[in-house]
Amino acid sequence: MRIVLLGAPGSGKGTQAALLEKHLGLPHISTGVLLRHAVAEQTPIGQQAKAIIDRGELVPDDVMLDLIEERLAQADTQQGFLLDGYPRNLAQAESLDALLERLGRPVDEAIQIDVDPEQVIARIEQRAAQEGRSDDTEEVLRHRMRIYQEQTAPVVDYYARKGLLTRVLGEGSVEEVLQLILSVLSMDERGAAP
């Protein structure tokens, strides 16, 4: 099963992806983790990305897609994967689909975790206080939410038009949200079909 997890910053998609990885036995692919690993390992893509980051620029879509393709070539992804943090915009969604079609492994399900924006801000502020993060101020969070609405929300519509999107309310406990997602995937809590 090939799953794309979508949601605003602070919606819990990373948390849910980690739990789903355990329940479903599918690798959790986070583009942020992939990028940091490639840079740390000084892979060719990592070196290219580091040069871009060092200039203060965003890593371009084609480099991110190369990073995803490199990860999808690994054996543990052959039965499926959970993609978290990608695609972030419509161009990335279209490029990802083209890549997956070429590999004969198209997306099976896109799950949007919906959370009220004010609750997202409260969650991230709490996380910032607990983790001592100074980059999660309310002003920064509201800016990130605007970027999400402008760039990533169209990805939700893209998957909806393809008939692949399911929306899940992400405002319950972590376990409640997990159970909602598993029910979408027609799975019980052990990852087995009911």
Contact 72, 79 (CB under 8 A): no
Task: Name the residues annotated as catalytic.
Answer: 13, 88, 127, 133, 144
Per-residue model confidence as pLDDT tens for the chain (194 residues): 999 999 988 888 989 999 999 999 999 999 888 988 998 999 998 898 888 878 877 788 998 999 999 999 999 999 999 999 899 899 999 999 999 999 999 999 999 999 988 887 777 777 777 777 666 677 777 777 888 888 888 999 999 999 999 999 998 899 999 999 999 998 544 444 44
State how far the Cα of 132 lies from the Cα of 100, in Å rounded to an integer: 39
State how far the Cα of 130 lies from the Cα of 110, in Å rounded to an integer: 31
pLDDT recorded at residue 189: 44
The strand order across the sheet containing 2-7 reads 28-30, 81-84, 2-7, 109-114, 165-169
Architecture category of domain 2-184 in CATH: 3-Layer(aba) Sandwich (3.40)
* Nearest one of 68, 49, 69 to 59, comparing CA atoms: 49
